[in-house]
Amino acid sequence: MKGMKPEGYEAFVITTRSVRPESFTPDVLALNRPPSKNEPKAPFRLTSIPFVNEEMRQHINALGFVSLSSYKLWFRRNGFSTSLIKSSDDLQAEIEYLVAELEAPREAENHKARRPEYICRIASGEFDGQPLTSEMSCFRKLFQEVGDVDGGRGTLLRLLLHVEKVADLLHTRTVFRNMGNGWRNQLIAGLSQLARHHPKWIRPVEDWFPSYQGRHRQRQFFELAEHLFIRYEMPCTLHSAWFELDDAKQHIQQGWILHIAAGKNIRTAENLPFTLTKRAAHLFTNSGTRASPLIALRDAQIHAIGSIRQFNYYLSHNEHICGRENADFWTGIVQFFLNNPMLERGYIGPIVDYIHHQKFVPQGIPQPDGTLVERPPAHPNFNIKSRSITRLVREVDEWHETLTGEESDKVQQWEPISTGPFELEENNKELKTGVRWTVEELCTSSLLYLEERRLHHCVGSYARECVAGEAAIFSIRAQPVPREPPADGEEPEKTHILTVAVDPKKRKVTQARGKFNLQPEGRVSRAKAKRTNGPYQVLLREPGRILALWRAREGFGYGQNWTSAAIATSRLDSLPRDSLPGSRAAKDNVLAAVSAFAKGGGVLLLS
């Protein structure tokens, strides 16, 4: 016996570490688990066993046991010889038995011995019209749903028998809670949808075994669907189509799955709610969201156009914007919102409701006898291109006042959060005059509306957030400083340059916009350049530096919604050191903060 090794011995020594360690005893399971940081990576081997020769020691190591006691326990449980002196046939029999045990598929935890028998009897129609338990009634309902599909009952029977044995999918738990409760949104109901499309299967169901066990039932189902249909990677958002409650939506979205499964682009799929660009199709295909396909499509479109982080959720999850009806019209509304980043996001929902009501909802006109006569919508030809955001916000407020019967012209006020006004006087070489920069906090709704009119954006929509303490608005202004005092003694008027929004709780700057939503140090389009004069464009290059100085004094940071834009670092050397407040050390700290900030990317602007 010495020097002899059974056939397949070396191969088994290599593979015992990689196959299903669940079948081992606790001692062997400890050996087969991945080593921790404090453990050596080399596999454990018994170096010496009392009263056991070298050949038997190698055999025990090959089987993967870490101790002689665990080996004895194993061969006693499985009916092998209890002697430690064994022939080569006995050793080979033990190896073949353990290999077969490891390669055999593990039965599911909820497997029931007699359940397959009842599933077969239900499939044959034996219990039609008879009362059944809730579980068995689900099986009968599954077979009824595939009754109109050629070969559907037989395919579903194959699917159920295999899934019952190896997976944990025969449950009535709700899969996607945001889609509502219903029979089709239950895990077991998705199996009938897989069976309905059995002609499109590319692999036999019997070849599938789940990689996830225990409570990962949803992952098991997704894995099964991909095994049956998918040749290429598919967005996980489309898996919700197997559980869609609406028949029409279910048919369309499952068609998208089969379209992508065949290796085709989502852009060429049928019944898309709107046209997708190449970039939007790419973003949708690589999307990791678990939202519904319609939401994922709209979200991909928003990101392709140029997303604004604080707007994304409010746009893509709005029931009107992400719906199939009038999808192209709502695409224009999405573009309108993205072109007005200063809009307070809480206004997105009310504006969408207002537009929907004005364009699509018929009016009910009360009659003298108390009845209502249906009339066309108030503005069926509503066009967003002819509206300004300021005018639209006011129309929304007036519409809500007519709905609630509340009218309030009272000026709203709130407490300031800043330490006080900020002033900085310097010479501007391009304008050849002195400029006094000020940063003022706007603490009343009337000041917000004034800022809105001067800079032509929608900062007035922030009044409610300011009252609630969720936002604070500041205005950066520039005032010419003449070399000689004016004869009439009146100071020149201040020019509104930039509006800054701050989150008081996080002490972070969230937005900064100039006239017509221009960005400091950003590119100016031709259309916006025509609406702004030359001096304003010159002054707009400076607020980034002023904003950094003011932020350093107030101790404000920058929000995560911002991306970096360049600031003119060459202008930092022209900063008048003597004009800075505080001691010498305080001036050095401010200049160091501005310099470090500029080197790190400069002014952060909303993308």
Our CA angle for 41, 42, 46, nearest 5°, is 135
Q: In the prediction, which pLDDT does 252 show? A: 93
* Stretch 269-295: mean pLDDT: 88
Kindly state the tokens that stand for 112.
């029931």
Residue 25 binned pLDDT confidence (cut-offs 50, 70, 90): very low
pTM over 0.75: no
Phi, psi (deg, nearest 5) at residue 501: -105, 135
Of 27, 29, 13, give the one whose Cα is nearest residue 73: 27
Q: In the prediction, which pLDDT does 598 show? A: 43
What is Dmax (Cα atoms) for the chain?
A: 120
What proportion of the chain, given as a percentage, has pLDDT over 90?
18
Q: In the prediction, which pLDDT does 75 show? A: 81
Note the helical H segments in 518-583: 526-531, 534-539, 543-554
Residue 257 binned pLDDT confidence (cut-offs 50, 70, 90): very high
Rounded Cα gap, residues 130 and 138, in angstroms? 13
Mean pLDDT of the chain, nearest integer: 77
Going through 461-569 in order, the beta strands assigned E by DSSP cover: 472-481, 495-503, 508-513, 557-558, 562-564
Answer whether residue 113 shows pLDDT above 80: no
Collapsing DSSP to helix, strand or coil, 174 comes out as: strand
Q: In the prediction, which pLDDT does 406 show? A: 42
Residue 47 binned pLDDT confidence (cut-offs 50, 70, 90): low
Q: In the prediction, which pLDDT does 58 show? A: 83
* Stretch 206-221: mean pLDDT: 82
End-to-end CA distance of the chain: 77
Rounded Cα gap, residues 21 and 16, in angstroms? 8
Give me Rg for the CA atoms of the chain. 36
Kindly state the tokens that stand for 210.
């789940």
Answer whether residue 96 shows pLDDT above 80: yes
CB-based burial label for 597 (10 Å; 0-12, 13-18, 19+): buried
* Stretch 234-239: mean pLDDT: 87
Answer whether residue 562 shows pLDDT above 60: no
Using the structure block, give the residue that is written with the tokens 């089969």: 258
Answer whether residue 103 shows pLDDT above 70: no
Q: In the prediction, which pLDDT does 470 show? A: 85
Q: Are strands 557-558 and 508-513 parallel, antiparallel or unpaired?
A: parallel
Answer whether residue 579 shows pLDDT above 60: no
Note the helical H segments in 365-515: 389-404, 445-455, 463-467
Q: In the prediction, which pLDDT does 583 show? A: 55
Sign of the torsion formed by the C-alpha atoms of 507, 598, 305 and 393: positive
* Stretch 252-264: mean pLDDT: 91
Rounded Cα gap, residues 518 and 499, in angstroms? 10
Phi, psi (deg, nearest 5) at residue 196: -65, -25
* Residues shown for the chain: 607
Answer whether residue 392 shows pLDDT above 70: yes
Answer whether residue 572 shows pLDDT above 50: no
What proportion of the chain, given as a percentage, has pLDDT over 70?
75
Rounded Cα gap, residues 225 and 193, in angstroms? 10
- Highest average pLDDT, of 8-22, 234-248, 531-545, comes from 234-248
Looking at residue 531, its amino acid is: R
Q: pLDDT digit string (tens) for 420-436?
A: 778 888 888 787 788 88
Answer whether residue 484 shows pLDDT above 80: no
Answer whether residue 105 shows pLDDT above 60: no
Rounded Cα gap, residues 293 and 295, in angstroms? 5
Q: Are strands 372-375 and 557-558 parallel, antiparallel or unpaired?
A: unpaired
Output 93 or 591, whichever has higher pLDDT.
93
